[in-house]
Structure 1
Amino acid sequence: MPDEHRLEEQFLSQEAERRISEKLDEAEKIEIDVQTDLLKIIQGQADGVSVVGQGLVIKENIRVQEIHLQTDSIAINPFSALFGQIELNQPVNTIARIILTETDINRTLASDFVNSQMQDFDLDVDGKIVSFEAQKIEIFLPGDGKIESRGRVLLKEKGNTRVLGYTAIACPRTHSQPAMLESFNCTEGGGISIEVVTALMQKAKELMNIPYFKWEDMVFHIKDIKVGIGSLILMVETQVKQIPSSSILPSS
């Protein structure tokens, strides 16, 4: 019986790998393990799903160096599962460890997908609106838990538009300390007023304190961030309403 159960797991796992791989532009490694057996499939249950991937690239040129993901027990559609497709009957909680390299992050920031999501954001500065439009953003990971950002934005205030270049060094929040801004320097455009800086820092604080992020059928909660030399490690809790398919992976 254990061997038979393992064959069922292998069938579902291999089919899930095939379906996910079809939606990726590139995958150095993708392993999916569906933990179940025939009786549980018929009952619409599975003990969980684990995913290990390396060098994953989705359609919008977004790359992940490494991901390890494990779900809780899940309720699945037994009929679709028998044909090798996992459809969730209820949302499932997952925990994921994701590694991004400095190159991955900057490749993502330059992608059409991210550029299409980047919109102007407005600040209320003493009752007047000041707008920022991102032109170019680069991230560097020098180590010591620090993230350096260099970029250029269009600053729109008092009816005028000008280019503003900057460099900033920050430390993400950890279990023992809040997010910290170590330095902010203007490198192009003549600088900005103290009032704009104050409003900008308040906006950054609001963004960093957002409890979760939503994308399509997924809710992400970043539990921990570790910054190394050239890489970023994220521990993420996710609630998934449906296993990724062509309906939620970006298409070309």
Structure 2
Amino acid sequence: MADNPGLGEQALNKAAEIGLSSQLDEVENLDVNIQTDPLKLVQGEVDAVTIEGEGLVMQKDLRMEDFEMQMTSVAINPLSVAFGKIELTKPTEAKVQVVLTEVDINRAFNSEYVRSQLQTQKIHINGQLTTIEPQHVDFRLLGDGKVALNATIKIVETGENQQVAFSAVPQISANGKTVSLENVEYGESEEISPELTKALVDQTSELLNLSNFDLEGMSLQVKQLKVEVGKLTLQAEAYVEQIPSGQ
């Protein structure tokens, strides 16, 4: 391997790219860059691993516009390298940045997964237990740290459509795992069932939940969440027990 500097790195980059891609529903662009020198690699030392991706689609139809992960001083099993794998000998920590766009979140809201989630709930409206069917959900990322949602919901039993609208401020939980919506302000339709609005507030929190972005062998803890017009940026730390490989 010493005669061929870079060859081991290239093989590992490729294996990691294949492994990560296999966990995603869609990938527009994925680049893994492993930096080390052949002598260190033989001893199982890697200086840095950088993973950059664009248009990564997780299960639940949740798309990430941009994904960046950086790990430094990674210890790997040198024997695994011969098989084109990156097997960590001890867990490592990484810095992660995820960017979601308004379009991405809307796509997820109008996906089959979220529809079926909402349709399985029974909700009290005017004292009646009803089934709901989302017709259209419009999610917006506003500039002042707020998100807004405007939805048309069909009440299956009566066939009538109801409008639900609210704005809220997403906050990260203390453990960095979940997102809750604070300071919820309701739209005009106050007479609509609070349960219906709550179901949509909960579903919004669920979609922004960080466990949705965990890949096999990696778990994220979010430190910062930034809402800008049309864009949501999450800064996180990841605990990495393994880097998926294509084997």
TM-score norm. by structure 1 comes to 0.67
Amino acid at match of 1:192: S
In structure 1, the residue matched to 2:33 is: 33
Deviates more, 1:73-82 or 1:54-63: 54-63
Aligned pairs, number: 231
Q: Deviations over 1:179-203 (max 9, x none)?
A: 6425113649x4236xx69xx59x9
1:185 maps to which of 184, 187, 202: 187
Distance (Å, rounded) in 1 between the aligned partners of 2:166 and 2:36: 48
Distance (Å, rounded) in 2 between the aligned partners of 1:134 and 1:245: 40
Long gaps (5+) in structure 1: 124-129, 156-161, 248-252
Please give the secondary structure, in 2, of the residue aligned with 1:227.
Answer: strand
Amino acid at match of 1:26: V
Distance (Å, rounded) in 2 between the aligned partners of 1:92 and 1:132: 46
Distance (Å, rounded) in 1 between the aligned partners of 2:86 and 2:115: 32
Distance (Å, rounded) in 2 between the aligned partners of 1:121 and 1:71: 41
Where do 1:42-121 residues align within 5 Å? 42-58=42-58, 61-112=61-112
Is 1:224 the counterpart of 2:231 in the alignment?
no
Distance (Å, rounded) in 2 between the aligned partners of 1:191 and 1:119: 17
In structure 2, the residue matched to 1:158 is: none
Q: Deviations over 1:74-112 (max 9, x none)?
A: 232322222322122333222111111111112223334
Please give the secondary structure, in 2, of the residue aligned with 1:143.
Answer: coil
How large is the Cα RMSD of the aligned pairs?
Answer: 4.5
Q: Structure 1 25/185 Cα, relative in aligned 2: closer, same or farther at 3 Å? A: same
Q: Structure 1 96/140 Cα, relative in aligned 2: closer, same or farther at 3 Å? A: same
Q: Structure 1 182/11 Cα, relative in aligned 2: closer, same or farther at 3 Å? A: same
In structure 2, the residue matched to 1:169 is: 167
Q: Deviations over 1:50-83 (max 9, x none)?
A: 0122223356643211112102422323222223
In structure 1, the residue matched to 2:150 is: 150
Q: Structure 1 241/133 Cα, relative in aligned 2: closer, same or farther at 3 Å? A: farther
Please give the secondary structure, in 1, of the residue aligned with 2:225.
Answer: strand
Q: Structure 1 154/81 Cα, relative in aligned 2: closer, same or farther at 3 Å? A: farther
Q: 1:224 deviation in Å?
A: 1.0
Higher relative contact order (CA 8 A, sep 6+): 2
Q: How many percent of aligned residue pairs carry the same amino acid? A: 31
Distance (Å, rounded) in 2 between the aligned partners of 1:46 and 1:139: 42
| Aligned residues of 2:85 and 2:245 also touching (Cα < 8 A) | no
Q: Structure 1 114/235 Cα, relative in aligned 2: closer, same or farther at 3 Å? A: farther
| Aligned residues of 2:2 and 2:38 also touching (Cα < 8 A) | no
In structure 2, the residue matched to 1:127 is: none
In structure 2, the residue matched to 1:126 is: none
Deviates more, 1:50-59 or 1:92-101: 50-59
Long gaps (5+) in structure 2: 124-128, 173-179
Distance (Å, rounded) in 1 between the aligned partners of 2:6 and 2:41: 13
Please give the secondary structure, in 2, of the residue aligned with 1:73.
Answer: strand
TM-score norm. by structure 2 comes to 0.68
Distance (Å, rounded) in 1 between the aligned partners of 2:192 and 2:219: 37
Q: 1:228 deviation in Å?
A: 1.5
Please give the secondary structure, in 1, of the residue aligned with 2:81.
Answer: helix
| Aligned residues of 1:120 and 1:134 also touching (Cα < 8 A) | no
Please give the secondary structure, in 2, of the residue aligned with 1:47.
Answer: strand
Distance (Å, rounded) in 2 between the aligned partners of 1:116 and 1:49: 38
Q: Deviations over 1:20-55 (max 9, x none)?
A: 44655331x322111223333333332231012222
Q: Structure 1 114/42 Cα, relative in aligned 2: closer, same or farther at 3 Å? A: farther
